[in-house]
Amino acid sequence: MRTRHRRLVAAAALTAAASLALAGCGADSSTDAPATSQTTTAGSSPAALARSLAQDETETSNPSPADSAPKSEDGVERARLVVTEIRVGDYQGRDRVVFELDGQGVPGYSVDYVAAPAQQGSGFPVEVAGDSFLQVTIRDQVLPTETDMTEVAVGTVTADEATGVAGVAFAGQFEGQAQAVIGLEGTDRAFSAFLLQNPTRLVVDIDR
């Protein structure tokens, strides 16, 4: 009887030890799981320095009137484009933001103020500094994986000079539309938007 009792006690101890080991493994695996917000929240990476305006961009005047109303334009032909660079600088006392595109065709676009910028598709906040926010949507985009073009990285860029632009967040593309948000210091300001060619660029000018 004593031998049998010792065997039962030993078996119970082994069972308890195994249960504790399994519980420990479960705890470790839960803490190692990556946070999904790091991969789904747009503009959460540290701000990089935006390129300065190209020479012709400091000389080309804006043919469109400036006001705070939404701006949009349809593409004139079927396009396959990718946003490859964002530039920020001063243009005759205005803030100028340039989105350069690679590929073929002329894109459609829309630019409008939004109260709370949210990423297309996911709905996660687009994190960018500023008091007011201009959302830029550029249509006729193609996934970079389907071409040999390189899309600008998702994240935020800031200007290398004194401007009223707090930052520009690129939020990637969804269903053929690239999305960016321009964070501005102060309240909504008058702005205008137009296209340049060779290379293809969307230019947004904002009053100070």
Are 172 and 195 contained in the same domain?
yes
Are 131 and 185 contained in the same domain?
yes
Q: What is the pTM of this model?
A: 0.76
Are 83 and 3 contained in the same domain?
no
Are 95 and 180 contained in the same domain?
yes
| 134 within domain boundaries | yes
Q: Which residues pair with 156 in a beta bridge?
A: 169
Q: CA–CA separation, 43 vs 79, rounded Å?
A: 26
pLDDT in tens, 174-202: 999 999 999 999 999 999 999 999 999 99
pLDDT value for 203: 97
Q: Taken in order 202, 141, 83, 178, is the CA torsion positive or negative?
A: positive
pLDDT value for 139: 94
- Candidates 60, 62, 133, 138; CA nearest to 100 is 138
Which SS3 state, helix, strand or coil, does residue 146 take?
Answer: helix
Q: Taken in order 6, 10, 15, 19, is the CA torsion positive or negative?
A: positive
pLDDT value for 12: 40
**Owning domain of residue 186:** 48-206
Amino acid at 50: A
| 43 within domain boundaries | no
Q: Helices (DSSP H) in the chain: which residue ranges?
A: 2-31, 37-40
Kindly give the parts of the chain with pLDDT less than 50.
1-41, 43-45
Give how many domains the chain has, as a whole number. 2
| 39 within domain boundaries | no
Q: CA–CA separation, 192 vs 207, rounded Å?
A: 9
Can you read off the two tokens belonging to residue 207? 């009053």
Taking a C-beta distance cutoff of 8 angstroms, is the pair 82, 200 a contact?
A: no
pLDDT in tens, 141-167: 999 888 889 999 999 999 877 789 999
pLDDT value for 200: 95
User: Number of C-alpha atoms within 13 angstroms, CB side, residue 29?
Assistant: 6
